[in-house]
Amino acid sequence: MSKRACIPFAPVTQLAATFLLLLAPLVGCGSNSSSGTETGSARAAGDVSPAVLQWQHNMLVFGSRHCSRETIQTQQTWEGGVWYYDGARAFYQIADYSGDRRWEECARYVIEMYRSYVLENQGQVPGWRVFPHGLLEHYRRTGDERSRDAVLLLAQGSAFAASSGGPDSALSRETAYIINAYLAAQELGAPGLELPLETAVSYALGHIRAWIDGTAASAKPFMIGLTLEALINLHGRTGDPRVPDAVRSALNWLWDTGHLAAGHTFPFILCREGVRSEECRTLQDSPAPDLNLLIAPAFAWLHFVSGDEESAVRGDRVFEGGVFGADLSAGKRFTQNYRWSFDYLRWRAGITSFVQQPGAAANVQLARPSMSGR
């Protein structure tokens, strides 16, 4: 078999170029030097979705660009930085996906800053700044008790920890985040720790009902994605039978109500007729592809657990719209896009872990674009 063509990349740093070589089997660039045949899971470049290739390319190029200890320490908790949306979690996933542990150093830069912020404030941080996953992963990998303490403080002391979020759908993000914090704290098995998880879950399910039946004045698609992420996390831990139907209902409503066929994205906000808030007046018609990858994984999960092909097609369109439409120049937007899009690829590949099955993303075949925009 002759050596197959390699997709051309132009990494902006030597670090990105190094990691690209490690990912070569995923993108059709790997070969046996003596025989010219493919190695491992390498595939012809034409066999891999262009969106997956671009996603990998962006991961390496922009990931290396935002892996700067100096920048992270200088910016501190500025919400445009890579720490926001849990940069440590994103970098740990890059490490697992690529098989290169050097990305863990990038995660450590974020942990140093964010953990200090949480500990110094005894966990009393705003509800939209609750990011337990990276801290939990740092504790798993290093045994550092300070990261464990920070997770527990977020679950008990952050702004909406005592109230479990809230019943108003305007608090959907904060409710989703505290669900994640409760689940992370439970995983740590802290003795005597009682957390009102069920209350938060009931609120989140109520938010979905409010969006669908129109009792909510508005809905932000990316916050719907965050709610579904939290409920999917819950299902993975408890098997809660309410979750699949809730996810399906929310995604069907979101697609029917807000999907923009041009660019396969959603507006920043969806507003009930007659609502005249500033955001509704200025952003209701504004496409927001930077936020697509906070939504796409939920479609992939629904397909993974139910076999629903329409969810796969829709999710692939949303994934492609985000990959090709997002601006990743700011750290925050990079982490938005890599917070849980790894899960999107896992579920579309039909696997549970890239650590156990490296290179599986090369098997992801996205549905062909629909000319009708469905």
Task: Read off the pTM.
Answer: 0.84
* 221-244: burial string, b at 16+ Cβ within 10 Å, e else: bbbbbbbbbbbbbbbeeeebeebb
pLDDT in tens, 22-63: 333 333 333 333 333 333 333 334 456 899 999 999 999 999
For tokens 């397909």, name the residue: 303
Q: Encode the chain (374 residues) as per-residue pLDDT tens digits.
A: 222 222 233 333 333 333 333 333 333 333 333 333 333 333 334 456 899 999 999 999 999 999 999 999 999 999 999 999 999 999 999 999 999 899 999 999 999 999 999 999 999 999 999 999 999 999 999 999 999 999 999 999 999 999 999 999 999 999 999 999 999 999 998 766 789 999 999 999 999 999 999 999 999 999 999 999 999 999 999 999 999 999 999 999 999 999 999 999 999 999 999 898 999 999 988 999 999 999 999 999 999 999 999 999 999 999 999 999 999 999 999 999 999 999 999 999 887 666 655 555 545 555 443 323 33
Evaluate the CA torsion angle 174, 180, 182, 188 in order and state its sign.
negative
- Is residue 172 helix, strand or coil? helix
- Name the architecture of domain 14-346: Alpha/alpha barrel (1.50)
* 39-53: burial string, b at 16+ Cβ within 10 Å, e else: eebbbebeebbebbb
What does the domain layout of the chain look like in residue ranges? Answer: 14-346
* 99-118: burial string, b at 16+ Cβ within 10 Å, e else: bbeebbebbbbbbebbbeeb
- Is residue 78 helix, strand or coil? coil
> Which H or E element spans position 271?
strand 270-271
